[in-house]
Structures are given as structure tokens and as C-alpha cells.
Amino acid sequence: MRKKRVYLDYAAATPLDRRVAKSMRPFESEKFANPASVHNEGIVARRVVAQARTEVARLLNVRSEEIIFTGGGTEADNLAITGIVEKAREKGIAAPHIITTNIEHPAILETCRRVTKWGGSVTFVPVQASGLVDPKHIAAALKPETVLVSVQLVNSEIGIIQPLRAIATVIAEYKATHGDTLSAFSELGYPYFHTDASQAPNYLDISFQKYGVDLMTLDGVKIYGPKGIGVLAIKRQVAIAPIIVGGGQERGMRAGTENVPAIVGFAAALTRTVQLREKETERLRGLQKYFIQNLKENFPRNVSIINDDCQKSVPNNVTICVRNGQEAELLVVRLDALGIACSAGSACTNLSTATYSYVIEALETASLSVLNDCKSSSIRFSFGRGTTRRDLDLTLIALRSIIK
């Protein structure tokens, strides 16, 4: 077995940045007080949380009171969907309607399916063969009961960047042209627009104004921050109910003692990510093109590149379909034995009972068999700050040994 391990699963988890770890350390052992306490130590902790909130808000170009710290990206997604549906029912919408796509993160899809058990309804808009959703299809699915549209900015599995601004425009046009129909709930601003942007900060501007969204999910583990911390940014006018109760923390939106070290770490990680964004994007785009070109030259008949158009995806993602009869999980295991860590789709999906990629299945359906039989044999390589050309060369060598 090769001594050097090559980690190409940064879309699943990133290592904790050393600078971030250093910023967290004092609040793990020395300054450990509960921010809700009224003594001096508690006031210090509360002030630190407020500073972190202000910094995150500045980077997202929102107000500090619009930042809610959560236990991770999955919790933030659950809060966005469940919280809006619950508040809509309180306001008299008996059967709230949600629109999303058929390739969203499991945290979105599973929460939406739960909404249907509560009497709500969901439209899963199909994507095109490229993985992009057509904003016109979102527009066609809108109706008076629609309270939320949720579309992931960057797909977790194939790295495709969705046209959020265009989607925001069709939502705004719908509101403007259906004022009479929506009059009963117009003061609430439905439908709201949410995006899970967890995969985006390393490579894309995440300003609210750029995308026209009302809510945004971020996750610390994707930006070289600590695990177990996320953010749901919510515009002040959004009517939403909490899903975790038992205290008044986070404007009453998320009960429980604040995780001060993780909050400090999240703010530090996001700040560092924004600082490195332009340089890392350029560097990884070069590695992405290098890897794709070598895959095409070395495996012209055995490998198809799912996200071949680099301009439509983030620069750290290369997803391939291996056409040699081996299933994705076996390919990942064989690569792991050769020292290469990659994944068969989203890490969260891998924990389910599914043996194929629902994202690739959606692309196959849209492509009319152009990507036939890829849903069970697609693997994702995702790069990060530690990735070098040498890592990719070692990966290509390993692939040659298992793809005949």
C-alpha cells in the first residue's frame, strides 16, 4: 500500500484551519462561561458571540440580527423549511406548498418529504441534463399556497452552480403579477427564497444581494471551520417558527447554550475563506482542467466526465462515470486501498440505504440516455487547499490499475 494518502473528499469535510483552531482555543478552557450569565465572565462570552455574529453578517452583507447560529448545515436547512411551514400554518395557510429541485441535498429533500406528511405539498422540479434547473420551470410551479422555494447554490455531488438570481427574478415577477391572489398573505412576503450555500463560500461570492435570497444556509465543516456549527441567515421580514425550543437564545430561533468556541471558529473560518477565495479558485481551476484533460487522454472509452463544463461548476469538483461494470462503492473501496480518498456521491447520501446516486439518476432521466448507466458507477473527486498536481498524478496512476 502506498504510504502517502491522497485526500480528495473536501466537499464532504475540510480540515480545521490552524488559525481557526488557535482562535477557538481560549474559549474551550479559559473563557468558558455561558453567554447567558450576568457575571463578568458571561458578559465576555456574550460579547465574543456578538462580535462573531457581526463579522459573519458583514461577510454576507446582512444585519447582525439576521444571523442565527445552528448545530450545522443540516439543522439550518431543517429550520428554514420546517420553521417557515409551521409559521405559515399558524398564519392560516392550511396546506403550505414548497418548490425545490430533484437533486437537492438530503437535508432539503427529506425535510420536504416530511412536510407532505403534515398536510403540505412539494413540487420537485426536474433539472436539465447539465444539472441546471430552468427558472421557467420554477415559475410554472408557483401557486398561491407556495411559501418557500429552496434551491442549492452549489450542488454537493456534481458542483453545478444554479442560476439563483434568475430564480429570484421569476419569484419577484410572480409576486408582482399575482398581487390580488396573494393579498391574504402579501404582508408575509410569500413565497420566500432559500438556498443551501454550504458548498459555495470557498469559491463564490455569498452576498445576499448577489442572489436575491431571503434565507441562506452555511456549514462550518465545509469552510475549514469546526464541525457541529452552521448558520441560517434570515432576513428580518421572514416569518419563521423555531424548531428547537427551551430558551431564548438566537432571537428565540434556536434554544440551547451557545457553542462559543465553534461560533468563534465559524467566523474566523469564513473570514479566512473569503481572504483566500480568489487565489484558491484560480489555483484549483487549473488543477480541475488538468485532471479532466488527463482523464480524457488516459481513459477515452472507460470514463465519462459528468461535469465537463468547468464554467458551470465550482473549481474543486470532478465527478466521473466509470464504464467498466464496477459499482461506485467498489471503486471507492479499491481506490481507498491504493491510498486515494474520494466518494460515491454525497457523504450524507452514502449513509442511507441507497446504492446509487439520485443526482446522477436525475441527469440520466433528463439526458435521454446520454449518461445511461452512470447512476451506480459515478464517483466524486473534490479538491481543497491541500491538493497538489502530484496528488492528481497519483490518483490517475491508481485509476489505471483498477480501470482496464
Tens-place pLDDT, residues 120-171: 999 999 999 999 999 999 999 999 999 999 999 999 999 999 999 999 999 9
Per-residue pLDDT at 375: 85
Of 241, 217, 221, nearest to 229 by C-alpha is 221
Structure-block grid coordinates of residue 243:
424548531
Contact 323, 302 (CB under 8 A): yes
List residues with catalytic annotation: 348
- Measured CA to CA, the distance from residue 6 to residue 310 in angstroms comes to 23
Per-residue pLDDT at 187: 64
Contact 72, 229 (CB under 8 A): yes
Please identify every stretch of the chain with a pLDDT value under 50, giving residue numbers as ranges. Answer: 1, 183
Angstrom distances, CA of residue 157 to CA of 103, 347, 396, 403: 9, 9, 20, 22
Kindly report the CATH class assigned to 6-15+277-402. Answer: alpha beta
Q: Does domain 18-271 have CATH number 3.40.640.10?
A: yes
Per-residue pLDDT at 373: 74
Of 116, 84, 112, nearest to 100 by C-alpha is 112
Q: Which amino acid is at 177?
A: T
Largest CA distance in the chain: 68
Contact 183, 148 (CB under 8 A): no
Q: Which amino acid is at 61?
A: N
- Measured CA to CA, the distance from residue 382 to residue 346 in angstroms comes to 11
Per-residue pLDDT at 196: 98
Radius of gyration of the chain (CA): 22
Positions of CATH 3.40.640.10 in the chain: 18-271
